[in-house]
Every structure is written in structure tokens, then in C-alpha cells.
Structure 1
Amino acid sequence: MSNPKPLDEAHWTTRFAELVAQHGIPGAQLGILRLGRDGAADELFTTATGVLHAGTGQPATTDSVWQIGSISKVWTATVVMQLVDEGRFALDTPVVEILPELTLGEPEVTKKLTVWHLLTHTSGIDGDIFTDTGRGDDCLEKYVAGLATAAQNHPLGATWSYCNSGFSLLGRVIEKVTGTTWDAALKERLFAPLGLTHTTTLPEEAMVFAHAMGHLSGGEEPKVAPVWGLPRSAGPAGLITSTSTDVLAFARMHLNGGLAADGTRVLSAESTAAMAGFQTECPERILLGDSWGLGWFRCDWSGHRAIGHDGNTIGQAAFLRLLPEAGIAVSVHTNVGSAIPLYLDLYEEIFAELAGVALPPRFELPAEPVQVDITPYLGAYQRESVLEEVLVEDGRPVLRTTVSGPIAELEGSEPETNDLVGVSDGLFAVKPSGSEAYYPVRFYSLPTGEHYLHFGARATPKKSS
């Protein structure tokens, strides 16, 4: 892959502003990093457009900070792998050996759950528990104690299902081993050696900078989110606030085998490679990636291997992709709840221009209608905070989603019914309310016979027909 001409900063500044406005997003920030080759300096470009808060009109800038949401999981995973490098524990160490007080809903899972299961989202612990355990330094300790009543959505290691709860548990593992808080561990082990100046984990730290406010919807009349952030107990799963410049310094370390820009060894080359390497399959290979590493998800872009992560908080969405073979990383932060169409338009253009690499074809409805029998999939699928009902209404298959719990209460979620459009056997498309894009809904069964619906990166077990 040849090294293209220098970044056309004027073009990307203009094009980014055009696309953000086109998609009705109040404000956004973009960063592009390309590693220098043959002794050349790295190229780093950042730009911002729009406003941080539709109510105040404060302009977005390249120094503004944004919630990067679940991209934080890769940072938490990096610290976990530092501890593996130090011999403090191994990937196959049972978590209960590190946290003897751990009690989960099923005793066998308590005994056998490993660090690897948590890093790869294969634990089966209900993943969307957002219990507010307070603002104290003991918030993760209290959160983990509450997992004793958490549901087990699938057998340990049996399938893949996105799990925020598992990363809060990993945060507590970090605390127990380092003897400090997750927040302090990240500052010491990542923020400082990477030279980050605008990256924080606590809201009072973020408030020092101009900071983005979330919006539940954009367009001509944006709806500002009711609160700024999630409870502190969600920190290791998604509470880092940063700039594209700082996020790309973190990405650069992963592109460069674990070395910071000044040559400081942050993570071993072996652990850096393991994080990006294949660890487990994803049942649904369209929405995020085709497989999972340790923290990163993995994407097949027309035969080229990319890694990355997305982040969503209350009214903010972020995207990070790395193409290691080209030494390129791209980071986007937005202050709207869903920005996948912007991501697709922008990243398709950037990676085609800078690396000659095409993203996979978009997930869209078949050109010709496909008749897929919905009968085997009818019924109720349920996990702790979500009920998914597959029904036939007026002769059409539909998916009715009812969300409960703290986040649903904050966002004012109501039950939502959408058509299920057949794509292929066991695969349907659904277009949620307010979305510009279709999302995949995959039905599948485990080898042991249990039936699951996979939607929004979560595996939801079938409870009744």
C-alpha cells in the first residue's frame, strides 16, 4: 500500500462540516492520524464544527472535550493487559481469585468466570446494569456487590453479547490489584505516559474544558439530553471524556506496538497484538465487526483488517477506527445519540482517499423483497432491562421493543414497534424510530438448543413462543 499525498486539510475541514450539517448533528469533532514512514513525521489533523450545546450555542473547537463512551473499554482493557504483562494475573485467571468476595447469580459462573471472558464479552452476565452506586471511590466495589442478583443471559462462554457490566467488573479488578481507583490507575498508567492533556474520567475534571452536551435528537429542533453523564460506576465501561487529539495519541500507541510517541513503552508488543488479534466470533457480523479481540472489535474491510470501537452515552456518539497496515487512525466525536450514517459517509471517503480501502457494503434492504418465514422466531425474548417481542401485526412481522431501567427512564423510552424486513434465513432488518439506518436482527441457536435474538450487539434469550 503506497503512501498517498499529504492530508488535504482544507478539503477535510470543509467536507466534515458539510456532512455534519447534512445529518443534522449539532456539533462534532474529527481527528485523522497517519504515521510517518521512512523517518517522516506523523501527520495529525483535527477539526471541529457546529456547537457543543444547542441551547447555548457555544462553538465546538478542536480543544473541546466529548464523551467517548464505550471506546473507554479499550482503555480499560489496555490497563488490564498491562497488569497481565506485569504477571499480576493471566487472561485465564478466574476473577474470583482476584476478587474473593465476588458472587454472581450462578455459583458455577462465579467459580469459572475468567478475565478473558470479561474482555471478550462472553461472560453471559446481563450487560446493561447501570446501577448508580454513588460518587465515592467505593462505587465499583458497591457495584460489583450488586452483581449477585444479575441475570445470566447465556451460559458462560457459549456466545458473544455486549457487556457493559463486565467492564465495570474489570475496573474493580484493576482497583484490587493496583490498590487505587480505576480513575487514578488510568491517569497513572495511560494519561501520563501518553502525554494526554484533555482526557478525564470525572465530570468535575471535564468541566475545566469546554465540553459537549448530549442531544437525544438533532435536526432543526435539537433535543438536549436531560442529564450530562452516566453514574460513576459505569466508568470503566464508558466515562472517559477526551479530544480527538488525545484519543489519537492512544490509538497511535496501539498502531506502534505499544510505544508512546516519545518512545515510552506503555504496553508490550505481545499484548498489543493480542488485543487486536482474533479471540472470538460474533453471532451477528454486520453492526460492529466480524470478530472480537481483547477490547477491540475487528472488521474485514474488503480483505483489509481494521480494528476499532464505538461509544454511545446519553446523547453523544463516538467512533474510532484503526487500519494498522496503513498506519491510519480516525476519530470522530458527536453530540447526538446516533450518528452511524455520518460515520459511514465520512469513513468511506477518508479510508478510500487515504488508503485505497473500501468499507464493507452497507447493510440495506434487499433490492428485491425476500420472503423469510417468521414463524420459527415468533415469541418473547427477554433480558434484565429489555423485552423483545416478535409478532405478526396486520400480516407483517414486527419487533416490539420495551426498554426499562435507569437509562430508559432518563431518555423517556416508550415501547416501540417496527417492521421486520426479511434479508435471508434468520436475518432481518429493522429501522428504529428516528434512525436513518437499518439495523440487523439475527436469530440463532446455541449448540445446546437455546434460541436467541441478536440485536443492538446483545444476545437476548427466548422465553416463550
Structure 2
Amino acid sequence: MPSLTASRWQPSVITLALLAAAPPAHAAEVTPERLAAALAQLDVLAPRVLQTTGVPGVAIVVVHNDRVVYLKGFGVREAGKPGVVGPDTVFQLASMSKPIASTVVASLVSDGTVDWNDPASRHMPQFQLSDPWVTREVTIADLFAHRSGLPGGAGDDLESLGYDRPEILRRLRFLAPASSLRSAYAYSNFGLTAGAQAAAQAAGKSWEDLAAERLFRPLGMAHTSARHADFTAATDRAALHVWEQGRWAPSFTRQPDAQAPAGGVSSTARDLAQWMRLELGSGMLGAQRVIAADALAQTHQPLVARGQNPVTGDTSFYGLGWNVDIDTRGHIFWNHAGAFSQGAQTVVNLLPAEKLGITVLTNAFPSGASNGLINSFYDAVLYGKPSQDWVALWGKAYDGLTASFAAGGAAYVTRPSTPLPALPLTAYSGTYTNDYFGTLEITQENGRLVAHLGPQRKAFVFAHFDQNTFTYVPEPEPPAALAGVTFSIGPDRRAQSVVLENYNGDGQGVFTRVEPPK
């Protein structure tokens, strides 16, 4: 099977780092006694974590040597309701969908339908980025490794406004690159989605049908889907929970179909055991060959450096839809987390040298429950006991992340003591546009400015802050924070352009008035 070519994958530094960090060949560290003790600790630790964090529910599955050795649920599917979490409770996986998408594409590489080094535009001719050369050269592997040059989060803002997948991918061409091709890592849901979509078009299938045909059905993953409608149709499903007013509340839903390859899979602990067995078995499920070993192995090659994990200190790289991490004792892990700010948090973590893997699914965000349980498990199975309170450490890290989001709107919480007056609202109302977001219509409604943006004409109410600056709340979902709106005024004392601060991270938040002067 063709592998990642040296011209596109430059492995020397990364590979040497991995070889230097890897321990010499030795007997298995995971003895039956250690594994049994670590699994018994999960029985104690999981309920304790739910009690200390308040997270409503968790499902855990552990695979070792091609066997499911642990499969349990704890807590409830929805806070305040009696339905319990079990092995067949369906959770939204969020970004844990990415390594699953990688496995699906590996199946196409396995039979020669695509190669990881194929330019995405070969199979998806409509795909364009801002640079014609990059459009011709960027490969499926580049998109899955987040090294296409697209800025991090590219397209997420379009999804939040209601654009569908084809239109989001079309509009990526209007984004200036954050880096040159293959020079840097920038996590992009819709970059990876573009790579998956190219592979699906090569196979002549929708992504959702392809995932079911190539992975879910062959592995017997009967409760797994890349369609949100299938998740909502499940009776045994976990609701999303966010922290509100001192409790976990099922206040929001998340419909991720636009980014299904990157964040739209829903599944159960039992189903995910089959996928973990396939990954740890190098494409084998029991005695059955499902995917060629070399096609799947390419997904675990470290292609771009991510830096150091701020909680564990592990050295981290990204492969094709997988994090490839090395801990301080030289163990190599394949892992990926998933989270929706509306209330989902999941993690898969595989230790291939020991044919061992664990997945933890939770129905709340943010908390240290999922990552903390996994780090505690590996400490127990490798070293006999947890080295520290991983749940608390991860919880602190997520608290810091939440605080940083809130700080982003702090500048607008308090108005100036003597704000300058605004112009008459007629000076600001009108039609504005830019290529990436499309048309922004600002109208006067009940003495206020209201903006409408996106295909669903999503409404934002502007509140005056100071002179020609207003504020608004871009999203009611967490992390909700005020953002600024600044109008530039022309000689006719009418706004010529407006900047929506929340959408200006990549310089795309500037809208220019388009209707003729009155």
C-alpha cells in the first residue's frame, strides 16, 4: 500500500524524537494483576468522580489484547431524570469523531480508492483555497493533519450561522492562510471535513453512508451514526449538560451535521470497543482483516508537532485524525478528545505497545472527569496507583479555559461613565457584506439596532456602548460573552463599514455597506 511520501511527510526530526523516547523492547508492563487492580479502581473512582464533579453520567470501556475487559455505565442520562447510563447509551462524540473519520478513509486507502497523498481537489474539483498553488497541492493527509495552512477554527463561525457543509467548504477560499502549506499545525474542523469529503466523493458516497458502509456495519456498531437525526431518534441517549447557576443543566442541543466527519458521530461504549479493537489490532477484528495494516498505520504517524500537553507534560504530535503523544517515561499513546461547549466531553486513549485502550464518554462540559479518569487508569495499570489527582488537575485546566473566554468580553461589561452619544440609528442601518460571511442586514426594531446574518438570518441585538461602538452577545450558549461592534462613519455621517469583533479573529469580520447612498 502506498505510504506518505518523503516529499510531503518529512519524518526525520519527529521520528528520531519518537525513537529516542521509546523504551527498549521489554516484557509487557500490563500484567494481569495490574490490569485487574486498575479495573477494580475504575469501579471505585468513576462513582467518586461523578459525586465530586457533579457530572450526571459516564460510560467507560477498556479493551486489552483484543478483548473487552471493562464495559460499564454510571450515573444518569439526564440530570433530574431516572434513566441510567449503560453500555448502550448513545453519546455525542464531538471531536472524537476525527480518528473515526481517519479509520473510514484508511479503509479507502486499503482498497486503493484513494491515497492519503492524493490532492483533495483531484476528488473534489469544487474545492478551493485562497492560493491556487495550495489548492492544487494540499492533500487529504494535509487536511487530516491540520497542516493545510487554514487558520484554526476555519469555518466554525459559518456553521454557527447555519451554513451547510457544501457552502462552508466553498467559502474557505475567502480565508487568508494562517501559515504556508505543511509548515504549522492549526486545528480546523472544516479542514478535516474537507479531506473526508474529498475521500467520500472519490468513493461516490455521502460521508454518512460511507462511514456506515465501511466501518459501522462491518464492525457491528449498530448504534453508531454520523447523522444527528439518528442520535435524536435513539431512546437511550445522553443529554448535553452545561454548568448553570451551580448545577449541571440540559439547556442546549448541538446539531453538528455540517462537520460530521470532524465532530458529528454519536456512539456507545459497546460500539466503540469494536473500533478500538480494530485500531489496536492493526486493521484486524478478531480473525477478520477489515483494513490493510499499512493503510491504518499511516494514520498513527506523527506528522506535525503540537507542543507539550499543559496538564500531563506529554510531548504531543498530530497524525491523521489522531494525537500521537509520548509521556515522560517513553510510552507512546494514540488519543483524541472531543467536546461541545453545549455539554459533551469524550476521550479515547490507546497504548498500542500493550494492546490496551480506554474510552470515557461523559454528558457534561467543562469538567476534568473524562481526561482525569483516563490518566488515573493509566497510572494504575502502569505504575500501580495514580500519581496525582488528575480529575482536579484537568478540572482546573478547563476552569482556566472558561475564564479566558469570559475575559474576552470583559472590556464591554462596564460602559464608560460618560459615554459619547450615538448617531441617529438611521446612520447605522442598512445592508453590508463580505465574501466570507455574506450579507449583513442591520435594521431598526423597537428603537434598537438588530443585525441579521447567515442563511437563517440569525438575529443579534446591538446595545449602545460608546459613540459608534455597540455590543452584542454572539451566542447564547456557553461560553457566552459580550463582543464589540464598531462602525466607521463617512463624510455623509453614515456608516460606511462595520466590524463584528467576534467574527474578526481571521480578519473576516469587516462588512462594507453595499446599498447606494440615499
1:330 is displaced (CA, Å) by 0.6
Q: Matches of 1:462 and 1:112 in 2, distance apart? A: 25
Aligned to 1:375: none
For 2:48, the equivalent position in structure 1 comes to 18
Q: Equivalent residue for 1:163?
A: 188
How far apart in 1 are the matches of 2:292 and 2:355? 18
Which residue number in structure 1 is paired with residue 130 of structure 2? Answer: 105
Distance (Å, rounded) in 1 between the aligned partners of 2:160 and 2:481: 27
What is the identity, as a one-letter code, of the residue corresponding to 1:169?
Answer: A
Counterpart mapping for 1:333-348 below 5 A: 333-339=361-367, 341-348=368-375
Matches within 5 A, 1:335-374: 335-339=363-367, 341-356=368-383
Question: Which residue, 242, 259, 264 being the options, matches 1:216?
Answer: 242
CA contact (8 A) 2:142 2:182 kept: yes
What is the one-letter code of the residue matched to 1:186? Answer: A
The 2-side partners of 1:239 and 1:121 are apart by: 18
Going from structure 1 to structure 2, the CA distance change for 1:20 and 1:98 (only over 3 Å counts) comes to same
Separation of aligned partners in 1, 2:41 and 2:385: 20
Q: For residues 13-71 of structure 1, what are the alpha-carbon distances to aligned partners after superposition, in whole Å with 9 as ceiling and x for unaligned? A: 232111122112121111111116xxxxx242112122211253432222211011111
> 1:225 — aligned with what?
251
1:307 lines up with 2:359 in the alignment: no
Any idea what SS the aligned residue of 1:29 has? strand
How is 1:5-84 mapped onto 2 (pairs within 5 angstroms)?
5=33, 7=36, 11-35=41-65, 42-84=67-109
Q: 2:244 and 2:40 mapped to 1: Cα distance?
A: 26
Distance across 2 between alignment mates of 1:387 and 1:15: 33
After TM superposition, list the pairs within 5 Å mapping 1:453-464 onto structure 2.
Answer: none
Structure 1 CA distance for aligned equivalents of residues 306 and 482 of structure 2: 26
Query: Aligned partner of 2:62: which letter?
Result: I
Which amino acid is 2:149 matched to? G
1:357, 1:139 → 2: CA distance?
A: 49
Q: Which residue of 1 aligns with 2:418?
A: none
Contact 1:24/1:220 (8 A) holds in 2 = no
- Kindly state the Cα deviation for residue 188 of structure 1 after the two structures are TM-superposed: 0.6
Q: Secondary structure of the residue that 2:147 maps to in structure 1?
A: coil
Determine the structure 2 residue equivalent to 1:316. Answer: 344
Whether the 8 Å CA contact 1:133–1:233 is kept in 2: the answer is: no
The code of the aligned residue for 1:350 comes to F
Q: State the partner residue of 1:373.
A: none
Change (3 A) 1:462 1:174: closer
**For 1:222, what is the secondary structure of its paired residue?**
strand
Matched positions, count = 380
C-alpha change, 1:113 and 1:389, in structure 2 (3 Å) is farther
Q: What is the rounded CA distance, in whole Å, between the counterparts of 2:217 and 2:146 in structure 1?
A: 28
Residue 32 of structure 2 aligns to a residue whose secondary structure is coil
Query: Match of 2:196, SS?
Result: helix
Cα deviation code 1:58-87 (max 9, x no counterpart): 322222110111111111111222222222
- Relative to 1, partners in 2 of residues 1:225 and 1:122: Cα closer, same or farther, differing over 3 Å? farther
1:166-211 alpha-carbon deviations (Å, 9 max, x no partner): 1221231132111111111011100111111221222332222311
In structure 1, the partner of 2:495 is none
In the TM superposition, 1:181-220 aligns within 5 A as: 181-206=206-231, 207-217=233-243
* Residues in 2 aligned to 1:99 and 1:387: alpha-carbon distance in whole angstroms: 40
Give the C-alpha shift of residue 118 in structure 1: 0.6
2: CA distance, partners of 1:117 / 1:20: 39
Quickly say closer, same or farther: Cα 1:139–1:182, change in 2 above 3 A: farther
Q: Distance in 1 between matches of 2:309 and 2:41?
A: 33
**TM superposition shift of 1:266:** 2.0
| 8 Å contact kept, 1:27–1:49 | yes
- Provide the alpha-carbon RMSD of the alignment: 3.6
Mean Cα displacement is larger for which, 324-333 or 73-82? 73-82
Equivalent residues in 2 for 1:269-284 (5 A)? 269-284=293-308
Match of 1:444 in 2: none
Instruction: Tell me how far 1:344 sits from its aligned partner.
Output: 4.5
Q: Map Cα deviations across residues 322-353 of structure 1 (whole Å, 9 max, x no partner).
A: 011111111111111123x2234422331133
The aligned counterpart of 1:295 is 321
Could you tell me how far apart the structure 1 residues matched to 2:193 and 2:55 are?
A: 30
Partner SS for 1:170: helix
What residue number does 2:151 align with?
A: 126
Could you tell me which amino acid in structure 2 is paired with residue 78 of structure 1?
T
Measure, in 2, the Cα distance between the counterparts of 1:284 and 1:349: 19
Q: Which residue of 1 aligns with 2:16?
A: none
Identity score, percent: 23
Determine whether 1:92 maps to 2:122: no
Residue identity in the other structure for 2:324: R
Q: 1:153 aligns with which of 150, 155, 178?
A: 178
- For residues 47 and 132 of structure 1, the distance between their equivalents in structure 2, rounded to whole angstroms, comes to 34
1:202-245: CA deviation from partner (whole Å, max 9, x where unpaired)? 23322223111111227952132322x23311101111111112
- Contact 1:23/1:219 (CA < 8 Å) preserved in 2? no
Larger helix percent: 2
- 2-structure distance, mates of 1:44, 1:363: 23
1:369 aligned partner = none
Structure 2: how far apart are the matches of 1:267 and 1:363? 36
3-state SS, counterpart of residue 116 of structure 2: coil
Q: Distance in 2 between matches of 1:198 and 1:108?
A: 42
* TM-score, structure 2 normalization: 0.66
How far apart are residue 271 of structure 1 and its match? Answer: 2.1
Counterpart amino acid of residue 477 in structure 2: E
Unaligned runs of 5+ in 1: 37-41, 366-384, 392-403, 418-459
Letter in 2 for 1:54: A
With over 3 angstroms needed to count, the CA separation of the structure-2 counterparts of 1:124 and 1:100, relative to structure 1, is same
After superposing the two structures, state which structure 1 stretch, 242-251 or 120-129, moved more. 120-129
